[in-house]
Amino acid sequence: MTTPDENHITRTSPQRMVKGILIVAITLAFGAAIIIPFWQTMIHNPPAAETKKLGPPETETGTQTSINNIEVVVKPQAKSNANVSAGAAPSGPATTTSPPGGTTNATAGPAGKPLTILAGASVQGSPNFDPDTITVKKGDKITVTNKDTLPHTVTSGTGPSDPNNAKQFDTSIIEAGATADIETAKLNPGQHPFFCSVHPYMTGKLVVQ
């Protein structure tokens, strides 16, 4: 028996139970649809965390001596990995490695005939190589200097679509201010077009006599 002051007890009906289960299931499905596609990315790219080495603080080591009751700690000198002492020449001949095509990215020995990549060469339509046609004798070395602010190459061929590009010579990437050599000993006499593989609109011609 109830009185007017008592609240009615609301019982959950089967329909409400089904609706509640559906809401929970839809929420879980929506969350899974967001997380599952990115699961592998989350595993392989965890958030950055600062690492800190644990252990006792480093202490200075050395020889402790006493001079007139004043304690002095003499630190040992760091060992040098250099095998060459001051005034002594390094032992063994210096060697350089040349990639295929008769070119090397580092200038070794005296400079060859100059070929300059001009400043602003990366801007299409601007002068790029100086000279744009360079003539040498077979066996001469060419020293390429990059005076632009961007990296460039001197690559044999008429462009990236040329099936024979880089087959005769290729300096690889020459950073701004750097130099590279081209050897012509293996080149046949005649005209050899070249271009920059980074900026293919930069073109020139090498004539071997």
Q: What is the pLDDT of residues 141-198, one digit of tens each?
A: 999 999 999 999 999 999 999 999 999 999 999 999 999 999 999 999 999 999 999 9
CATH of the domain at 188: 2.60.40.420
What span, in angstroms and rounded, lies between the C-alpha atoms of 68 and 27? 81
pLDDT of residue 87: 44
Q: Is there a contact between 126 and 120 (Cβ–Cβ < 8 Å)?
A: yes
DSSP helix/strand/coil, 175: coil
What span, in angstroms and rounded, lies between the C-alpha atoms of 160 and 207? 20
Total structural domains within the chain = 1
In a domain, 92, yes or no: no
pLDDT of residue 172: 95
Residue type, 34: I
Identify the domain containing residue 127 by its residue range. Answer: 116-208
Q: Could you read off the pLDDT of 85-114 as tens digits, one per residue?
A: 444 444 444 444 444 445 545 445 688 899
CA proximity to 132, closest of 100, 154, 161, 152:
154
In a domain, 69, yes or no: no
Q: Could you read off the pLDDT of 37-68 as tens digits, one per residue?
A: 766 666 666 555 555 555 555 555 555 544 45
Q: Is there a contact between 46 and 53 (Cβ–Cβ < 8 Å)?
A: no
What span, in angstroms and rounded, lies between the C-alpha atoms of 90 and 83? 8
In a domain, 47, yes or no: no
Q: What pTM was estimated for this model as a whole?
A: 0.51
In a domain, 154, yes or no: yes
In a domain, 96, yes or no: no
In a domain, 164, yes or no: yes
In a domain, 123, yes or no: yes
In a domain, 153, yes or no: yes
Predicted confidence band at 36 (pLDDT cuts at 50, 70, 90)?
confident
